[in-house]
Structure 1
Amino acid sequence: MRVIQSKAFKADNAWGALDIANMNGITTRLHWTDQPYKWHINDGEEVFVVLDGVVEMRFKDDGMEQSTLLNVGDIFYASVGTEHVAHPVGEARILVIEQEGSV
């Protein structure tokens, strides 16, 4: 049993993470960041939930760059092969569920 106060979590560096669970190779991690990530494609599917802050999610659809603004409670689902990058607006805390070892 574990209770995590996500608003209290702050990593030492951008995209630092608190490992919450690994369920048969699917990880759940709480990330803190105030900097963009990098363009990437995950090895599998990814669920990205904004818990605190605002994140501009940029992604490519048929080679065309698009973006959407994610607020608290919003969820971004990246299917296999979806190239994307997260740009926080200030500080953000994000719950990420993905295959273990994914980028």
Structure 2
Amino acid sequence: MKIIRSQSFTADRAWGALDIANMNGITTRLHWTDQPYKWHINDGQEVFVVLDGQVRMHYREEGLEKEVVLRVGDIFYASVGTEHVAHPLGVARILVIESEGSV
């Protein structure tokens, strides 16, 4: 049993994470960041939930770069093959659910 107060979670580096659960190879992790990630494509599907702050999500669809600002409570679903990168606007806390070992 765990109770996690996501808004008080910090890490010693950008994209530092707290492992919450691993359910049959699907991980749930809480991330803290104040820096952009890197362009990547996950090995599987990814669910990205903004719990605190705002994130500008850049993604490519049919070769075109697009972006959307995600606010608290917003969810970004990256299907297999979706190239994307997250740019927090200040400090953000994000819940990420994905295959174990994904980038």
Moved segments of 4+, more than 6 Å: none
Matched, 1:76 2:71: no
Alignment partner, residue 33 of structure 1 = 33
- The Cα of 1:84 is off from its aligned counterpart by 0.0
Q: Deviations over 1:30-89 (max 9, x none)?
A: 000000000000000000000000000000000100000000000000000000000000
Alignment partner, residue 14 of structure 1 = 14
- 3-state DSSP class of the match of 2:95? strand
Matched, 1:97 2:97: yes
User: For 1:16 and 1:2, how far apart are their aligned partners in 2?
Assistant: 19
Alignment partner, residue 47 of structure 1 = 47
User: For 2:24 and 2:12, how far apart are their aligned partners in 1?
Assistant: 28
Root mean square deviation of aligned Cα: 0.2
User: For 2:75 and 2:51, how far apart are their aligned partners in 1?
Assistant: 9
TM-score, normalised to structure 2's length? 1.00
Identity of aligned residues (%): 77
TM-score, normalised to structure 1's length? 1.00
Matched, 1:24 2:33: no
